[in-house]
Amino acid sequence: MDKNKVVIDVEDVAMKFNLGQEKTDNFKEFVIKALKKELLFQPFWALKGVSFKIHKGEKVAFIGSNGAGKSTLLKIIAGVMKPTEGSVEVHGRIAPLLALGAGFDYNYTGSENIFLNGSFLGYSKQYMHDKYDEIVEFSEIGDFIDVPVKNYSSGMKSRLAFSIATTVKSQILILDEVLSVGDAAFKAKSTKRMKEMMAGDVTLLFVSHSISQVKELCDRAIWLDHGKVLMDGEVNEVCDKYLEFVRNK
Ligand SMILES: Nc1ncnc2c1ncn2[C@@H]1O[C@H](COP(=O)(O)OP(=O)(O)OP(=O)(O)O)[C@@H](O)[C@H]1O
């Protein structure tokens, strides 16, 4: 495996959101104010000057307080959002597992969503056919596979999303909090599968508030704070500094 190959190159990325300064009580009021141009928007930088490179096979965790910009950064890397400034280069196929069930169309059945997600990830219908049984079996969805996803519990949605993303073979895996959902049995099963994948040359981008899980799965951590990289290095070192920071807050 070519450990020196850069698979993700993030350069000077910034992301600006426009936040409404005043509260509107309802949508009608919002539309009227917007039409009358009475709404004031204040720019808010969720990410600013973020740069790093990720090499093939690295397992990288993104840690930091609520609102630090972790999910926004992963969405930009996955191509769901375009950064306001900077550039992101990705070499390899990404299986994004952003916020649970993202990528599902709730009106379609689990089965239909497997093919929908497959085409979204760039896999052929035949390939998804070949993987179908394994995906359904691992997800433990059972007969619910023919029911619209809107009737699934959040645990069922995350089990199916996890199962799709980890059964199809992709070089880059993005996991956002997903392992924290699902019951104890599924959690054990998904952690085992993650570890099997870790043994291969998959590149992992992992967001979690569980530092023990981060230490277990990753070898590098990037600590984000208020949209900036505060520390980037060996996982135990960065996590310990972060925990110390949290304790002293
Ligand atoms: N679409 C959006 N419009 C406006 N603000 C947004 C949008 N998405 C995210 N934000 C803001 O950007 C900041 C970063 O959010 P993000 O979800 O990336 O943080 P996070 O580090 O993943 O947080 P958490 O640990 O709570 O999941 C937050 O202040 C959030 O309110």
Is there an atom of ligand 1 within 6 Å of 84 CB? Answer: no
Is there an atom of ligand 1 within 6 Å of 48 CB? Answer: no
Distances (CA, A) of 208 to 25, 80, 99, 197, 238: 34, 19, 11, 18, 14
Position 132 scores a pLDDT of: 96
Q: Could you give the CA distance from residue 215 to residue 199 in angstroms, rounded to a whole number?
A: 15
One-letter amino acid identity for 154? S
pTM: 0.80
Q: Which of 111-115, 126-130, 193-197 has the lowest mean pLDDT?
A: 193-197
> Is residue 213 within 8 Å of residue 197, measured between CB atoms?
no
pLDDT confidence bin for 41, thresholds 50/70/90: low
List the one residue out of 60, 3, 52, 22 whose CA is nearest residue 205. Answer: 60
3-state secondary structure of 158: helix
The ipTM, to two decimals, is: 0.94
Strands 59-63 and 228-234: unpaired
The 10s digit of each residue's pLDDT in 154-195 is: 888 888 988 888 888 778 888 876 666 678 888 888 888 888
The 10s digit of each residue's pLDDT in 47-74 is: 999 999 999 999 999 999 999 999 899 9
Is there an atom of ligand 1 within 6 Å of 98 CB? Answer: no
User: How many angstroms does the Cα of residue 34 sit away from the middle of ligand 1?
Assistant: 23
Question: Which H/E stretch holds residue 132?
Answer: helix 125-139
